[in-house]
Amino acid sequence: MYPRLEINLKKLEHNTRIIKQMCERHNVKIWGVTKCFCANPLAAMAMLKGGADMLADSRIENLKKLKDIPSKKVLLRIPMHCEVDDVVLYSDYSQNSELSTLKLLGEAAQRIGKVHNVIIMLDLGDLREGVWPDNIDEFIGEAVKIKGIEIKGFGVNLTCYGGVIPDEVNLSKLVDISKDMGDKYNLDVEIISGGNSSSLYLVEKGTLPKGINNLRVGEAILLGRETAFGKRLDGLYDDAFVLKAQIVELKEKPSVPIGNIGMDAFGGKPVFEDKGMMKRAIVAMGRQDIDINLIRPFDEDIRLIGASSDHTILNVTNSKKDYKVGDVVEFYLYYGGLLKAATSAYVHKVLV
């Protein structure tokens, strides 16, 4: 059935293995981030076969799917108060930045006779989650008093929100703060997590600051590129995930609608360029399923024109292939495109 998202497990395993080898040379462990494919257990297992040291996800619902997989698991999104009982049950580590949440996690862990491992997130300028460096000493001083949790490390998020690129300066600051807090409060600092796929360029260059011993890797494994500059990584596949959609209409039509133009289905007023008559293919997927700005046809002669909720319109005028109704068009995916397609219940997931 179509539309479908094909997940190539061998390519996923291969990409993980290459990144694992790259990082291992610098004494860096990797967590395979599963959120972009909604923690499909077989895809997660491919990451582990490729050498991922742990599995990590932003949503506790996804970690529940992975509960029977023999690997330690990490909750990446700082927990909500309402989910602390599930956090201590389904994750071995969680990332945190709020004392009130740490207290609830500690209470939840004590109720089931556990100690829950936490990683304290620092905000080094990207302005998403994290304790501001000026406040970290006071924060740790309070956190170490909480029963039922153990601080096992420190981490930072960069690029995801503010676009701040990880570099030797901000990551060295992470290392310094981690060591200072470890020494002052006698912490077992097991993990200093220097970010996500955007930090891989430093690994490639050999300039990742000494002391960073963990990266949380999703996009580089899934799509074969680092995310600071969007560069393809040598030896990695960029088509471990392929989106496929079937043509339901193929006709010659004008390139500009006829009539007075008002709002489209999403509240915008579309603008069209007159390119004369064109051969237009409609595939049966739309903005409920995908982000058309974050997919790219395999056929380089196809142009994406636009989409409504359920239909995507393609200009196939210049394609060398003689498309027919019923034919399938394949698409590469960017990160946001993969995230949306994987999340849509209307896109069939097929493991190959």
The reply to whether omega before 41 is within 30° of 0 (cis) is no
Q: Are strands 348-351 and 303-307 parallel, antiparallel or unpaired?
A: unpaired
Cβ count near 257 (within 10 Å): 10
DSSP 79: P
* Two structure tokens written together for 250: 């193929």
Is there a contact between 344 and 2 (Cβ–Cβ < 8 Å)? no
* H or E stretch covering 162: none
**35 noted as active-site residue:** yes
Residue carrying structure tokens 């930045």: 97
11, 20, 35, 103: the catalytic one is 35
d(CA 239, CA 160): 22
Q: Are strands 277-283 and 312-315 parallel, antiparallel or unpaired?
A: antiparallel
d(CA 76, CA 130): 12
Q: What is the dihedral of CA 123, 128, 129, 131, to 10 degrees?
A: 30
Q: Which residues are catalytic?
A: 35
